[in-house]
Structure 1
Amino acid sequence: MNIVVCVKQVMDTEALIELDDSGEVITEGRTQIIDPYGEFAVEKAVQLKEQLGGEVTCLCYGDDGCTSAIRHALAMGADKAVLIEDDAWRSVDAAQCAAELAGALKDLSADLIMGGWTSGDTASAQVMGRLSALLDIPLANMVTGLEATADGVKASCEIDDGVEICEYKLPVIIAAQQGLAEPRYPSVRDVMQARRKPIERKAPAGGSQPVLAVAGRDLKGARSGGRIIEGDTVADAVAQAASLLRSEAKVI
């Protein structure tokens, strides 16, 4: 099975988020990691390769600095990688990103295309759906379970009130949700071997137009502390809570 996993490099989710004078997120000096949702997809792809044979290719749209996320995926067990190298990648929207990935995917002949259902930075949750439309390939979204069948895959997809089990013939796009697979920790040997695995670099195709313009960004202020209500009886506590909701929170 030929599996291609779309991965993204993002700022560590535990890092302090700050904006510069122009309203852009400051990334310099911040720890960069592979996006967690993409990491779930990489792990499941490697598991399928170990079970069925085949090859796992990592596909990333970013700049040269994104090779750290790519090398992490290679250390997890991916065989090779393709980097669509664009210094302006942070300024493109989901439509442009999907167009770049779709162009590269057309040359990779994937049976299974995987990636995170959303990302830990912009959280647009659009790219995998746009890939499905651009490539005319069905999408299994928010996948928490995946297994191979005789002629395709069976996916467990998270929905509002439970899980939907869907079967797909190949090719299909799998958008990974947390719970799909527990990412492995690469050994030192795996990390060293990943340095020797090939990364093909491609120029961006360009030509696609943005559909979203960011007017500005603002950080939420610090949350005020909570308040503990004490009363001699439940009725007294409820009365105090209602009074505060009316006079301070102004929600009733």
Structure 2
Amino acid sequence: MKVLVPVKRVIDYNVKVRVKADGSGVDLANVKMSMNPFDEIAVEQAIRLKEAGTADEVVVVSIGVKQSQETLRNALAMGADRAILVVAADDVHTDIEPLAVAKILKAVVDEEQPGLVLAGKQAIDNDMNATGQMLSALLGWPQATFASELAVDGDTATVTREVDGGLQTIKVKMPAIVTVDLRLNEPRYASLPNIMKAKKKPLEEKTAADYGVDVSPRLQIVGTSEPAERAAGIKVGSIDELVEKLKEAGAV
């Protein structure tokens, strides 16, 4: 079985994001970029499936700017077998919208014929949480989202999902789309020898036009701003004083 894993290049989660002075977007100048953390978990799970003998090949694909090669090389260093880069933008500030990404991924799936698509549940830059679901609809495949556990047995996958009320376990017939949550696993660090080997692994480069997909944005960013600062807190000396303060604030 072949496993396909889409990965996205995003601002590293340790970086404090800065908004441009004119409010037109986020400042990416000299900012560290990394693989989306949820996608990293998906890559790790795909590699584990291969190590367990369930999967034969792990293919990673990224859609965006040329610089996404670095993200793909990182996935290859973790243990993926080969990579596909679909160049769909020239400007690093351009974010390809989920529907366009899903359409490109459908075309890639049609070519590659994987038995399973493992994706992060969402990207930490736009938090859309839509690509996996859209890809499922376009392919007509079953989907299991927010996976915190995954077991593959023959042509079925058993997935434990994190839902508002707790945990839900479902079975889906493969081929299927599974989007992963934080608690599925702990991604490995790529060793130096594997980083060197990754440079020699195949990385195929294509464009959105090769798949006949229009990536023109349908959404327009009107403005970007920092979150409002929280008001400073106060200290109280006793429970009685706390109750009085809450009454003054209208909280009780």
1:105 aligns with 2:106: no
Structure 2 residue corresponding to 1:235, chosen from 235, 240, 249: 240
Q: Report the TM-score, using the length of structure 1 for normalisation.
A: 0.91
**Paired residue total:** 245
1:220 aligns with 2:241: no
- Residue 61 of structure 1 deviates from its aligned partner by 0.2
CA RMSD after TM alignment: 1.7
Q: Residue in 2 aligned with 1:195?
A: 199
- Residue 241 of structure 1 deviates from its aligned partner by 2.1
Contact kept in structure 2, 1:143 and 1:174, CA below 8 Å: yes
Contact kept in structure 2, 1:117 and 1:128, CA below 8 Å: yes
- Residue 30 of structure 1 deviates from its aligned partner by 0.3
Structure 1 residues 132-143: aligned runs within 5 Å = 132-143=136-147
Contact kept in structure 1, 2:58 and 2:81, CA below 8 Å: yes
- Residue 101 of structure 1 deviates from its aligned partner by 1.9
Q: Residue in 2 aligned with 1:65?
A: 67
Q: Residue in 2 aligned with 1:14?
A: 14
Q: In 2, distance between residues paired with 1:209 and 1:102?
A: 17
Q: In 2, distance between residues paired with 1:121 and 1:209?
A: 19
Contact kept in structure 2, 1:144 and 1:178, CA below 8 Å: yes
1:42 aligns with 2:43: yes
| Structure 2 unpaired stretches of 5+ | none
Structure 1 residues 22-37: aligned runs within 5 Å = 23-37=24-38
Instruction: Name whichever of 60-69 and 83-92 sits farther off.
Output: 83-92
Q: Percent identity?
A: 28
Contact kept in structure 2, 1:95 and 1:210, CA below 8 Å: no
Contact kept in structure 2, 1:95 and 1:211, CA below 8 Å: no
Q: Report the TM-score, using the length of structure 2 for normalisation.
A: 0.91
